[in-house]
A = this chain, B = another copy of it.
Amino acid sequence: MSPSLNAASLAPFTAKLASRCELDVDDQAALAALPVIEQRIDAGEFLVRQGAIGEHCILVVKGFVQRHKIVANGGRQIVAILMEGDLLGFEALAGLGADCHAQSLTAARILKAPTAALAAVLRQRPAVGQAMWTESLTSASVFQEWLANIGRRDARTRMAHLLCELSLRQRLFDKHAQASFDLPLTQEQLGDVLGLTSVHVNRTLKGLSREDLIRYERGRMTILQWEKLAAAGEFDDVYLNVPKTLDRAGRGAVPA
């Protein structure tokens, strides 16, 4: 919990905010001074319960987290997948209860920052507030894209779209990532994202494999033909608001 430790763990988060909005030294210092608590999480742990008013906001440092809702017949809908640098608990900053459950998909490292302290930084450092506002709107933009995906596209298209999104988002924080990336979701969880059953997810993935668009084995996904997969998924990354400062070249590069 020394400042230097904070700074190190906060790095993915700070980097993300800085890519949204120029942060000066004071902005970064204010973030580094947050009294955060680092924590290790096992796969499948609940981080937030729906309705709870979070005293802490949660930053994902390493690993994958999902947010989901449960419907009456027991069905589950995953409404967001969070990765390195993503923030959980925007609502808490406005004093609202959590609108979803949050649960880790993998073992993960997180930082818990007191909501009040983070809110204070947002007030006192307008650049940070601006970056967070942009971040929050981007996440809303993803919700809307997912609505169109689930509401109006068939299983093959939905899946291709999701794979493109996840691949691109991983490359945003991991510059070394190849066409091959970790996909730590079971097929049932993929179904919960896409509004499908695990059985149909399996068939859809097999279909994309047979077309040689992807290869998929034991949690590792390889995109064999980015251009074709993106076309199959009608994928256009504008909705992710990828900052122009980030290198998007090599997006089509493939060598496994």
Contacts and interface: CB of A to CB of B under 8 A. Distances in A.
Interface stretch (A53-61, A103-111, A131-139, A210-218): A131-139
A93 B133 CA distance: 9
Interface in A40-98: 51, 67, 69, 71-72, 75-77, 79-80, 90-91, 93-97
A254 interface: no
Please tell me how many copies of the chain the complex holds: 2
A151 B77 contact: yes
Contact of A195 (B130, B140, B143, B151): B151
B140 A143 contact: yes
A238 B51 contact: yes
Contact of A134 (B96, B238, B241): B96
A118 to B, nearest CB: 13
A145 interface: yes
A229 to B, nearest CB: 14
Nearest to A231: B72
Given A69-B147, A79-B147, 18 more contacts: A51-B238, A69-B145, A71-B152, A71-B153, A71-B234, A77-B147, A90-B137, A90-B140, A91-B137, A91-B141, A97-B238, A99-B239, A123-B126, A139-B140, A140-B140, A147-B147, A150-B195, A152-B195
